[in-house]
Structure 1
């Protein structure tokens, strides 16, 4: 691990041994884990795996973004074309190629290892997100070492590891976990350059490792999600330059060599896609995707303040401590460490709140700054003793609310109360209760560790047990299983009224998405063909079938719930028997 920078006025001696309490064993575990950098890294990797793996292999493809990314990657592997990005016949130019390359590498590696039907296993496509999430946790630890001590840095990384939002992104085959890794690496390297300048360190020959990490992470971030990573770095630099009235510290990042290195990494694919598609990629990605977010894209519009409201859930279990740390952080805003972290956090947060299109994961790259600020306040024991302390009840409220929701959801959708999850629910409630009841300013660390165990229990309940059992939410799985069980060879399918990307991913790239009339025409064009007709499209299917004299047989009917559209669906599978 890189060097540790003990910050001015940051850090405090460990609290003395306290009487036996439900958090004492966890504190001793933390003592062992923070004895060295190697132990800290191993401990964080273990915690990340425990928190991220429940449900990773068993949750079906999630519509719509994950399934779209996975299907586009599958087509890349099928075609051998690693430049163009397509979903069936349509181009998919909203994001650059980085995540598709990483997912393709995972699929190719799994196939090389003789994993059966690797291209149809969604967890293979999720591997880059899992590695990105684990890497982001480790990078949070590394970045935090520039501001706080090793023990507090581990706490900051644990807050990120257990956060609800990162837990979700670690299980989705899309861009955001890898983007987070790139952003934290970029900001960690920038922080070291800035803090060494503030402390007049390494003036003669700053190490090459900082600019190497900074510019490489910046380039990978651009390939993953376009210029968004430039906003995080750029707004931080501008904010610091305004406060300090000096930006000479940027020379420590070797900008001339760094910019050339970034172009070497980024330009080849951009040139290749421009050669292939002309201006279409840039029009779709910048104009069609990025700039359209200034408005309410795809009905995701929301007023300012949404991210602040969601923070209580998306950053749980770290959110209560973050709120209690806010007054102390604001008082310390002139300290170099706090100044950098606030420059990382506040300008970009304002931009996201101002933009009309809002999705919870947009602010994820700002959470490491919050985690580091919070861990520093915990270590200094300067958490608020005001009414904000009531927020500690949130450590119990979230497990209680989540437990009720998952049990009720399981009963409604499957008519089963998910008994196997109840021991883990009880454990989550108990540890959440310990975190709340035993909280005080001098033992905030102990309460946080109890809350982290509650988060682990909830991950097992929600992701590992309940969500995979909610089969009505994933009708594409049942449809694909029905088509695999047919007697003919090479079945082909057309779907009317149900056009979710997961269906294409699971049933094949050539699956036709059409209407009822088109499905009837498709069914009459050959043998071993199947029409997947959602109930609302059956009338047009039947009318067209009668018009063309199509004889068909009704097979399986699959009932489910399309959560992308928020409505119940019923899909019948029809097979042709020829025409009259």
Structure 2
């Protein structure tokens, strides 16, 4: 290191990074506190102001809301339609959160999407802490802290933490099972290691993670843990090491947790839940591109450089180390958790980025393990160029969000730009640190860049993009009517966010004739007409309707501009 480098701004940044790691690694309690702060800074901004994100998020939130409206905590429904795709775990968590908020006097709690996101926030925070716990089986405390921080900073976890879906909670359950499996595998009696079998607490964590994972997303946690255990058992030539997890006791615990609801939904739905969840939802994704989410093999690997930013480039550089050390117990376990499941997901036609989120804690641990073994060497051919990818995401976000805001709303995210530029500078500093051999400092600086990106994007830029907030703006038109409790219908626009925002009784119409009949039914009524149905709706000229307003914007789910006009019949109007 040259004298100029040793005394320049980069050196000061690296000393700050080293001080943060040292302070956090002083004890487990400090490490967990630092990780919680990091997670809250990354995940909280925008959690209440971000509009319901079509289509899956408002479907989950609406079904949870209907549980509260009907008092039925067994069946899962979206309006009148049975939603037999996922088990009940997330719906219970969301319903309990909103019920608690109502008990505390939170106004309009049932339509506050931020409340439905709290279980995901908790799941993401738990996933960070459980990554730290899992990493302690592989790394010293400082390395475990760095691995957990790297996972907490990844964009995919940041996104899932503020979406009312299953994936953040699934990641927590999968990571808990991984940490327990690691202790069983590394604790088996071999010539290399003699750590001893896992304690009863670790065994309980494993099986509770499996049980809760089943209630949240069906077979996914058993899939991840079982596939890794199968690969390791084939490597070992025996599955006897799994007896340390006390499978008889564990399976009994799993049945005790999951059987009551599965029995209740089987009785209530006449077995239809299993036909829908397994036959259409799960097998549909195996046999075809479910809901048009098709992608070619390799799509996850390509998307990984964005979804696991800022750690993706460094993880890619750890691949040669993982291959060379694949015979080592710790590396074999990490590869058994990551590679088989990843290859299966790549082979499936349905591609959604969050499917590989439960694999990312192991990727973070493997990356830091490679770093601590000296394998992330900037002198390797092409290493510095690969590490340069860490700068592309913040630069791309800065340019892309500015262009999007200007094109969609005619504004610039001026409040966010200084933070986005600071994130670009920190990412550039991380690259410079890596090129000079300060790998640990480079990871910390990259994590700090992500710490700035998340609030800038979700807290400062997202509120500016009003064109994306179709459902809240349409709800504002309804709420501005001079009559309360207006019955509302939508002609054309059928996004689930409308149902969640405007109410369970929102009528979905198919033609102008249906809109005419709806408006003539009496009382205060409002119809939202998408532009492509405007001519059909104009044929309802025999209804005395009043123009209320018009909303234009951009439908994220459809990927196209949308215009919606609102027409009302007010009390006393003559049809």
TM-score range, shorter chain: over 0.9
Q: Does 1:302 align with 2:295?
A: yes
Distance across 2 between alignment mates of 1:524 and 1:404: 49
The count of residues paired between Structure 1 and Structure 2 equals 560
C-alpha displacement at 1:570, in angstroms? 1.1
Q: Does 1:78 align with 2:73?
A: no
Instruction: Give 2:311's aligned residue.
Output: 318
Q: Does 1:410 align with 2:405?
A: yes
Q: In the alignment, which of 253, 257, 265 is matched to residue 261 of structure 1?
A: 253
Task: Provide closer, same or farther for how the CA distance between residues 202 and 427 of structure 1 changes in structure 2, counting only shifts above 3 A.
Answer: closer
C-alpha displacement at 1:134, in angstroms? 0.4
TM-score (ref. length: structure 1):
0.94
Instruction: Give 1:135's aligned residue.
Output: 126
**Contact 2:75/2:268, CA 8 A, preserved across alignment:** yes
C-alpha displacement at 1:398, in angstroms? 1.4
The 10-residue stretch of structure 1 (342-351 or 378-387) with the greater mean CA deviation from structure 2: 378-387
C-alpha displacement at 1:233, in angstroms? 1.1
**Contact 2:420/2:453, CA 8 A, preserved across alignment:** yes
**Contact 1:520/1:531, CA 8 A, preserved across alignment:** no
**Contact 2:89/2:215, CA 8 A, preserved across alignment:** yes
Instruction: Give 1:285's aligned residue.
Output: 277
Q: Does 1:452 align with 2:447?
A: yes
Distance across 1 between alignment mates of 2:19 and 2:97: 38
Task: Provide closer, same or farther for how the CA distance between residues 404 and 206 of structure 1 changes in structure 2, counting only shifts above 3 A.
Answer: closer
The DSSP-based 3-state class of the residue aligned with 2:412 is coil
Q: Does 1:382 align with 2:375?
A: yes
C-alpha displacement at 1:337, in angstroms? 0.5
Task: Provide closer, same or farther for how the CA distance between residues 90 and 409 of structure 1 changes in structure 2, counting only shifts above 3 A.
Answer: same
Distance across 2 between alignment mates of 1:98 and 1:174: 11
Instruction: Give 2:536's aligned residue.
Output: 540
Q: Does 1:525 align with 2:521?
A: yes
The DSSP-based 3-state class of the residue aligned with 2:547 is strand
C-alpha displacement at 1:386, in angstroms? 2.4
Instruction: Give 1:508's aligned residue.
Output: 503
The DSSP-based 3-state class of the residue aligned with 2:13 is coil
The DSSP-based 3-state class of the residue aligned with 2:403 is helix
Distance across 2 between alignment mates of 1:441 and 1:38: 32
The DSSP-based 3-state class of the residue aligned with 1:532 is strand
> Where in structure 2 are the equivalents of 1:50-89 lying within 5 Å?
50-89=41-80
C-alpha displacement at 1:438, in angstroms? 2.2
**Contact 1:324/1:389, CA 8 A, preserved across alignment:** no
CA deviations on 1:76-95 (whole Å, 9 max, x unpaired) are 11111100100000010110
**Contact 1:383/1:441, CA 8 A, preserved across alignment:** no
Q: In the alignment, which of 431, 438, 444 is matched to residue 436 of structure 1?
A: 431
C-alpha displacement at 1:538, in angstroms? 1.7
**Contact 1:221/1:229, CA 8 A, preserved across alignment:** yes
Q: Does 1:359 align with 2:352?
A: yes
Distance across 1 between alignment mates of 2:297 and 2:246: 38
Distance across 1 between alignment mates of 2:318 and 2:496: 43
Instruction: Give 1:276's aligned residue.
Output: 268
**Contact 2:183/2:198, CA 8 A, preserved across alignment:** no
C-alpha displacement at 1:206, in angstroms? 4.5
**Contact 2:224/2:341, CA 8 A, preserved across alignment:** yes
**Contact 1:165/1:315, CA 8 A, preserved across alignment:** yes
The 10-residue stretch of structure 1 (461-470 or 441-450) with the greater mean CA deviation from structure 2: 441-450
Q: In the alignment, which of 169, 183, 195 is matched to residue 192 of structure 1?
A: 183
C-alpha displacement at 1:198, in angstroms? 4.6
Distance across 2 between alignment mates of 1:156 and 1:558: 45
Distance across 2 between alignment mates of 1:535 and 1:517: 16
Q: Does 1:558 align with 2:551?
A: yes
Instruction: Give 1:249's aligned residue.
Output: 241
The DSSP-based 3-state class of the residue aligned with 1:386 is coil
**Contact 1:493/1:530, CA 8 A, preserved across alignment:** yes
The DSSP-based 3-state class of the residue aligned with 1:555 is strand
**Contact 2:531/2:562, CA 8 A, preserved across alignment:** yes
CA deviations on 1:263-309 (whole Å, 9 max, x unpaired) are 00000000000110012100110111000002111111111000000
Q: Does 1:336 align with 2:329?
A: yes
Q: In the alignment, which of 70, 79, 90 is matched to residue 81 of structure 2?
A: 90
The DSSP-based 3-state class of the residue aligned with 2:199 is coil
The DSSP-based 3-state class of the residue aligned with 2:363 is helix
The DSSP-based 3-state class of the residue aligned with 2:545 is strand
Give RMSD over aligned pairs: 1.4
**Contact 2:147/2:364, CA 8 A, preserved across alignment:** yes
Instruction: Give 1:24's aligned residue.
Output: 15
**Contact 1:395/1:432, CA 8 A, preserved across alignment:** yes
Distance across 2 between alignment mates of 1:29 and 1:233: 33
C-alpha displacement at 1:351, in angstroms? 0.5
**Contact 2:90/2:216, CA 8 A, preserved across alignment:** yes
The DSSP-based 3-state class of the residue aligned with 2:350 is coil
Distance across 1 between alignment mates of 2:73 and 2:509: 28
Distance across 2 between alignment mates of 1:498 and 1:287: 29
Distance across 2 between alignment mates of 1:458 and 1:266: 39
CA deviations on 1:526-565 (whole Å, 9 max, x unpaired) are 110011111111222222x24xx32211120111111211
**Contact 1:169/1:176, CA 8 A, preserved across alignment:** yes
C-alpha displacement at 1:395, in angstroms? 1.9
CA deviations on 1:329-364 (whole Å, 9 max, x unpaired) are 211111111111110111101110000000000001
Q: Unpaired runs of 5+ in structure 2?
A: none
Q: In the alignment, which of 349, 355, 377 is matched to residue 342 of structure 2?
A: 349
**Contact 1:523/1:529, CA 8 A, preserved across alignment:** yes
Q: Unpaired runs of 5+ in structure 1?
A: 1-16
**Contact 2:477/2:548, CA 8 A, preserved across alignment:** no
